[in-house]
Amino acid sequence: MKVITLKYNSIILDEPDYLCNTLSVMKVLLLASLTVDGLIGRHNLHLANWSSAEDKQFFVKTTKKAGTIIMGSNTFDTIGKPLPGRKTILYAKEPEKYVYDNVETTSEDPKLLIKRLNLQGVKTVVICGGASIYNYFMSSGVVDELYLTIEPVIFGEGLRLFSSELNINLTLISVKKINQNTILVHYKVNK
């Protein structure tokens, strides 16, 4: 077994050494829109129609540049169709419901999925939600950076960004005002 330590990830490889020469650094980004009170929606099928046009533009630009996105079936259902120009990896309990071009269903452990995508040459992947997927990937330790859009909205009750206890330290990279009332916060996960 060969261990390769990358800039952001440690990946244990049991593939032949010749495959290790083609391995490059892959970034795992988490993108989320949050209310001021830290919620990502009122319920698991709540449309993201409450976030700003600037947040949606950032989402499209970032996910198209990455080319590969990961989401759960509830998030996919709120969108209603595959997003053009991106490969979607979908966590779904009923994969037969999601037969589309450029959509792959999975139930892989996040570490194994990221390892496989890295071996396939994927350079960047974006975690797009929902709550259980955000939590699953953060708790597995594979997320490298977070982009959190804070919108001037309060729900009071609803879905939290993370649903279980985590102990993860972050380093602030930037804070950018993207419109009159909305900020985009960029963090690096300390590993």
Tokens of 33: 């829109």
Distance, in Å, from the CA atom of 26 to the CA atom of 48, rounded to the nearest integer, reads: 28
CATH superfamily of 25-189: Dihydrofolate Reductase, subunit A (3.40.430.10)
Output the tens digit of pLDDT for each of the chain's 191 residues.
344 433 334 444 444 343 444 456 899 999 999 999 999 999 887 887 899 999 999 999 999 999 999 999 999 999 999 999 999 999 999 999 999 999 999 999 999 999 999 999 999 999 999 999 999 999 999 999 999 999 999 999 999 999 899 999 999 999 999 999 999 999 999 99
Peptide bond into 130 cis (omega under 30): yes
Annotated domain spans of the chain: 25-189
